[in-house]
Structure 1
C-alpha cells in the first residue's frame, strides 16, 4: 500500500527518503535516516525497528546489502516486509517479501533504491527512470520520482499521505541537528502535489537567497514593495520603508532572506504579491 525511494547525493553528502501511501501519516512509519550513515524505508507490514537497527549495523561498517540481510534474517515475518536501504557511500539494496500484496517489487541503481506494494504495474520503473534522469537537489529528484510514480499509477487503492526526509551534517535549523528537510502530508486528496507545495515554502523560508534575486530597493521595486507593505499592514506613517520591511521579515519568519539595508530578495516580494 506504499511506494518509496531512498537516495544519496555524493556531492552534497545528503541522504533521503520520499514516500506516498493510501495510509494515514506514512511519514511516521516509513522514512528513517541519519547523516553520514544512510537512509532506510520500511513498509508493507512495516517493521519500524528496521530504521534504528539498520543504522546501528551501518554505523558498525556494514554495507546496505549486509544490513538488509541481517535485518531480514532475524525477522520471522520478513516475507510480509518491504525495505529499501542506501548506505553511507550510496550502495543500495531493496527487499520485497513473498507475501507482500501484488503488485509488489523493487529495483536499485546508482545511489538509489525504489520499492512498492499494492501498486499499479510500472510505478517502480517510472520512479527509477525519473531519479536516474532528473537533475537538481536530492530533495527535488526524490520529489520528481514520487510524482513520476503517481503519474504511472502509484498505489492502486489511491492516495492519502506523503513524506520527504533529507538529512545532512548540521543541516537542520540553526545547524543543531541533521534534519535538513523533514516534511509530511498526513491526510490529503493529492498528497504528492501538496508535498511539492510545502517543499517550495520550505525552500522560501529556509534556503539561502539566490544572489541573482537580490536587488536594490529603488524604482519599480520600491513602488511595489511600499504598496505591499501598506496592504499587509506593516507600513505605518511613523515607519520608514526599511523599518516596515524589517518588521515584515521578522514577523513572517523570513530571517534567512534578510539583506543589507537598501536591498530585497525578489522571492520575498513575489511572496508578498501572492499573499
Structure 2
C-alpha cells in the first residue's frame, strides 16, 4: 500500500512515505536522533517502531534489526520494513505475501521499499533520485526521492497521503528537542505536491539564516525596514517578525534576505 525511503545524512535521520491509505505518516515512520530510523508498512506492525529504535539505540546493525524484528513476528510474510542506523548500509525486508509489485533496495545509509506499486520502476526511480541528489538539504533530498517514486507510478491504487519526518540532535524548534521536520498530508488528491508546499513553508519559518547572505542594517536599508514595519502597524522589526513566526531568522544588527523579502511582500499585499 506504500512506498518509502529511510535514510541517514551525517547525524540526521529521516523517513518519507506516500500511500493510497489514510494518514500513512501516523503509522509508517519512526526515527530517533543518535540511533536511526525505520519504516514499517504493507500490513504494518507498528510495534516494530519502538522495538526497532530500542535495538538501534543499543548499537544493533540495521540488517540485524530487520532480522530480529521479522524473526519474532508470525505475520512477517505480510510485512515490509526498512531500517538505517548510524553506520553502514541500510536494510530492507519484503515478506513473500506482500501484494505485487513489492520489493526494495538498500545501500550505504538508505533503504527504499514499496508494495502494491505499479512496478519495480518506482523503487528504482527513488534510489536513483536519492543517489543523484547529494547536494540537496536532507529534507529536500528525501522529498526528491519520494517525488521520483510518485512520478514513476507510485501506489498502483492511486494517491491519498504522504509524510516527511526528520530528526537530528538539537535541530528542533528554537533548539528544543530533536525533531527537525514533522509534516503530514493525511488525505489529499495530490499529497506529494501538497507536502512539497508545506515543506516550503517549513523552510521559510524554521530555516536557519545563511551567515554569508546576511545584510548589514544601516543607512537606506534601515530606513526602509523601519518605514515598512510602521506601515504594517508594528513598532519594531522584532514585533512584526514574531507575529509572522519568523523570529528564528532574526539576527542582531543584520537581516536575513528571506525576512527582508517577506517584509517587502507583506507591505505590497
TM-score normalised to the size of structure 2? 0.91
The total of aligned residue pairs comes to: 263
Alpha-carbon distance, 1:61 to partner? 2.6
Query: How many Å separate the matches in 2 of 1:251 and 1:137?
Result: 27
Query: How many Å separate the matches in 1 of 2:117 and 2:260?
Result: 42
User: Match of 2:172?
Assistant: 172
Task: State the SS of the aligned residue for 1:260.
Answer: coil
CA RMSD of aligned residues (A): 2.0
Query: How many Å separate the matches in 2 of 1:222 and 1:101?
Result: 64
Deviation by residue 1:80-115 (Cα, 9 ceiling, x = unmatched) = 110100012143110111111111110101210100
CA contact (8 A) 2:35 2:57 kept: yes
CA contact (8 A) 1:78 1:97 kept: yes
Query: How many Å separate the matches in 2 of 1:225 and 1:153?
Result: 51
User: Match of 1:105?
Assistant: 103
Query: How many Å separate the matches in 2 of 1:271 and 1:120?
Result: 41
Q: Are 2:154 and 1:154 equivalent residues in the alignment?
A: yes
Task: State the SS of the aligned residue for 2:127.
Answer: helix
Q: Are 2:259 and 1:260 equivalent residues in the alignment?
A: no
Instruction: Provide structure 2 residue ranges, at least 5 long, that are not aligned to the other structure.
Output: none
Of 251, 255, 260, which residue of structure 2 is paired with 1:269?
260
Of 101, 119, 130, which residue of structure 1 is paired with 2:117?
119
Say which is worse superposed, 77-86 or 245-254, in terms of deviation: 245-254
User: Match of 1:85?
Assistant: 83
Residues 229 and 77 (structure 1), Cα distance of their counterparts in 2 relative to 1, 3 Å cut: farther
Q: Are 2:197 and 1:197 equivalent residues in the alignment?
A: yes
Of 224, 241, 251, which residue of structure 1 is paired with 2:243?
251
Deviation by residue 1:115-152 (Cα, 9 ceiling, x = unmatched) = 00111111000000010110222211111101111111
Runs of 4+ in 1 over 3 A off after TM superposition: 216-229
Query: How many Å separate the matches in 1 of 2:51 and 2:138?
Result: 24
Of 20, 27, 35, which residue of structure 1 is paired with 2:25?
27
Say which is worse superposed, 168-177 or 114-123, in terms of deviation: 168-177
User: Match of 2:34?
Assistant: 36
Deviation by residue 1:41-75 (Cα, 9 ceiling, x = unmatched) = 00010000111101122223321111111111111
Task: State the SS of the aligned residue for 1:91.
Answer: coil
Q: Are 2:14 and 1:5 equivalent residues in the alignment?
A: no
Residues 90 and 175 (structure 1), Cα distance of their counterparts in 2 relative to 1, 3 Å cut: farther
Alpha-carbon distance, 1:214 to partner? 2.2
CA contact (8 A) 1:164 1:181 kept: yes
